[in-house]
A and B are shown apart, each in its own frame.
Chain A
Amino acid sequence: MQAKRTIFPNKLLPYLLLAPQLAVTLVFFIWPAAQAVKSSFEREDPFGFRTTFIWFENYQRLFADPGYVNALWVTGVFAISVTLFSMSLSLVLAVAVNRVLRTNRIYTTLLVWPYAVAPVVVGILWWFMFNPTIGIAPYLLRGLGIGWNHRVNGEQAMLLVIIAASWKQISYNFLFFVAGLQSVPQSLSEAAAIDGAGPMKRFWTIIFPLLSPTSFFLLIVNINYAMFDTFGIIDATTSGGPGQATNILVYKVYADGFLGLNIGSSAAQSVVLMLIVIALTVVQFRYVERRVQY
Chain B
Amino acid sequence: MVRLSLAALTIALTSTTAFAQTEISWWHAMDAELGQKLEAIAQGFNESQDEFVVVPTYKGGYAETLTAAIAAFRANEQPAIVQVFEVGTGTMMAAEGAVYPVYQLMTDNDQPWDPSAFLEPVTGYYSDTEGNILSMPFNSSTPIMYYNKDVFEAAGLDPETPPRTWAELEEMSRTIMEAGAAPCGFTTGWVSWVQLENLSAIHDQPYGTLENGFGGLGTEFTFNGEVQTQHWENLKAWADEGLFQYGGPVGGADAPPKFYAGECAMYMNSSASRAGVIANATDFEVGFAPLPYYDDAIAEPKNSIIGGATLWVLNGKDEAVYDGVAQFFTYLSSPEVQAEWHQATGYLPITNAAYELGQEQGYYGENPGSEVAIEQITRGEPSANSKGIRFGNLTQVRTVIDEEFEALLAGNKTAQEALDAAVERGNQILRDFEAANS
> Are B70's CB and A47's CB within 8 A?
yes
Within 8 A of A (CB), among B88-104: 91, 94-95, 97-98
Residues in B whose Cβ lies below 8 Å from that of A260: 393, 395-396, 399
A75 adjacent to chain B (CB < 8 Å): no
5 A-B residue pairs with Cβ-Cβ distance under 8 Å, sorted by A, are: A45-B94, A45-B95, A45-B436, A46-B70, A47-B97
B437 adjacent to chain A (CB < 8 Å): yes
> Are B74's CB and A261's CB within 8 A?
no
Chain B residue nearest to A154 (CB atoms) is B410
Residues in B whose Cβ lies below 8 Å from that of A132: 254
Residues in A whose Cβ lies below 8 Å from that of B248: 151, 241
Q: In whole Å, how far is A35's beta carbon from the nearest beta carbon of chain B?
A: 12
Chain A residue nearest to B411 (CB atoms) is A152
> Are B91's CB and A261's CB within 8 A?
yes
Residues in B whose Cβ lies below 8 Å from that of A242: 249, 403, 406, 409-410
Q: Which of B173-181, B255-263, B273-281 contacts A (4 or more CB under 8 A)?
A: B255-263
A45–B438 alpha-carbon span in the complex (Å)? 9
B220 adjacent to chain A (CB < 8 Å): no
Count chain B CB atoms within 10 A of each CB in A151, A244, A264 and give the residue with the most.
A151
Within 8 A of A (CB), among B63-106: 63-64, 66-67, 70, 73-74, 91, 94-95, 97-98
> Are B63's CB and A43's CB within 8 A?
no
A99–B4 alpha-carbon span in the complex (Å)? 58
Residues in B whose Cβ lies below 8 Å from that of A134: 257, 261
> Are B74's CB and A48's CB within 8 A?
yes
**Residues 31-51 of chain A, each 1 if its beta carbon lies under 8 Å from chain B, else 0:** 000000000000111111110
Within 8 A of A (CB), among B219-275: 245-250, 254, 257-258, 261, 263
> Are B64's CB and A258's CB within 8 A?
yes
A158–B396 alpha-carbon span in the complex (Å)? 22
Residues in A whose Cβ lies below 8 Å from that of B404: 243
A45–B249 alpha-carbon span in the complex (Å)? 26
Chain A residue nearest to B68 (CB atoms) is A258
> Are A239's CB and B249's CB within 8 A?
yes
Residues in A whose Cβ lies below 8 Å from that of B402: 241
Residues in B whose Cβ lies below 8 Å from that of A131: 254, 257
B432 adjacent to chain A (CB < 8 Å): yes
Within 8 A of A (CB), among B41-77: 63-64, 66-67, 70, 73-74
Q: Give chain B's interface residue range (CB within 8 Å of chain A).
A: 35 or more
> Are B409's CB and A43's CB within 8 A?
no
> Are B395's CB and A259's CB within 8 A?
yes
> Are A153's CB and B410's CB within 8 A?
yes
A220 adjacent to chain B (CB < 8 Å): no
Residues in B whose Cβ lies below 8 Å from that of A262: 393, 396, 432
Q: In whole Å, how far is A169's beta carbon from the nearest beta carbon of chain B?
A: 26
> Are B254's CB and A243's CB within 8 A?
no
> Are B257's CB and A152's CB within 8 A?
no
Given A152-B406, A152-B409, A242-B410, A45-B437 contact (CB < 8 Å): yes
A211 adjacent to chain B (CB < 8 Å): no
B2 adjacent to chain A (CB < 8 Å): no
Interface set of A (CB-CB < 8 Å, partner B): 43-50, 131-134, 149, 151-154, 239, 241-244, 255-256, 258-262, 264
> Are B396's CB and A47's CB within 8 A?
no
- Which residue of the partner chain, among B67, B98, B437, contacts A258 with CB atoms under 8 Å? B67
Residues in B whose Cβ lies below 8 Å from that of A153: 410
> Are B263's CB and A46's CB within 8 A?
no
Residues in A whose Cβ lies below 8 Å from that of B254: 131-133, 151
Chain B residue nearest to A255 (CB atoms) is B399
> Are B63's CB and A259's CB within 8 A?
yes
> Are B395's CB and A43's CB within 8 A?
no
> Are A47's CB and B73's CB within 8 A?
yes
The 8 closest A-B pairs by CB, nearest first: A242-B406, A243-B406, A260-B396, A47-B95, A243-B403, A45-B436, A152-B409, A243-B407
> Are A261's CB and B94's CB within 8 A?
no
> Are A239's CB and B261's CB within 8 A?
no
Within 8 A of A (CB), among B374-420: 393, 395-396, 399, 402-404, 406-407, 409-410, 412
Residues in A whose Cβ lies below 8 Å from that of B403: 241-244
19 more A-B residue pairs beyond the given contacts A243-B406, A259-B395, A262-B393, with a C-beta to C-beta distance below 8 A: A43-B435, A44-B436, A46-B70, A47-B74, A47-B98, A48-B74, A131-B257, A132-B254, A133-B254, A151-B246, A151-B254, A151-B406, A154-B406, A241-B402, A258-B63, A258-B67, A260-B393, A261-B393, A262-B432
Q: In whole Å, how far is B435's beta carbon from the nearest beta carbon of chain A?
A: 6
Count chain B CB atoms within 10 A of each CB in A153, A244, A258, A261 and give the residue with the most.
A261
Residues in B whose Cβ lies below 8 Å from that of A133: 245, 254, 257-258, 261, 263
Residues in A whose Cβ lies below 8 Å from that of B98: 47, 49
A46–B73 alpha-carbon span in the complex (Å)? 10
Residues in A whose Cβ lies below 8 Å from that of B409: 152, 242
A118–B279 alpha-carbon span in the complex (Å)? 31
Chain B residue nearest to A260 (CB atoms) is B396
Chain A residue nearest to B250 (CB atoms) is A239
Q: In whole Å, how far is A61's beta carbon from the nearest beta carbon of chain B?
A: 9
Chain A residue nearest to B73 (CB atoms) is A47
Residues in B whose Cβ lies below 8 Å from that of A46: 70, 91, 95
A255–B404 alpha-carbon span in the complex (Å)? 17
Residues in B whose Cβ lies below 8 Å from that of A49: 95, 97-98
Residues in B whose Cβ lies below 8 Å from that of A258: 63-64, 67
Count chain A CB atoms within 10 A of each CB in B393, B395, B399 and give the residue with the most.
B399
A49–B404 alpha-carbon span in the complex (Å)? 33
A151–B412 alpha-carbon span in the complex (Å)? 14
Chain B residue nearest to A61 (CB atoms) is B432
Chain B residue nearest to A259 (CB atoms) is B63
Q: In whole Å, how far is B274's beta carbon from the nearest beta carbon of chain A?
A: 21
Given A152-B410, A242-B410, A258-B63, A43-B436 contact (CB < 8 Å): yes
Chain B residue nearest to A151 (CB atoms) is B248
A50–B247 alpha-carbon span in the complex (Å)? 39
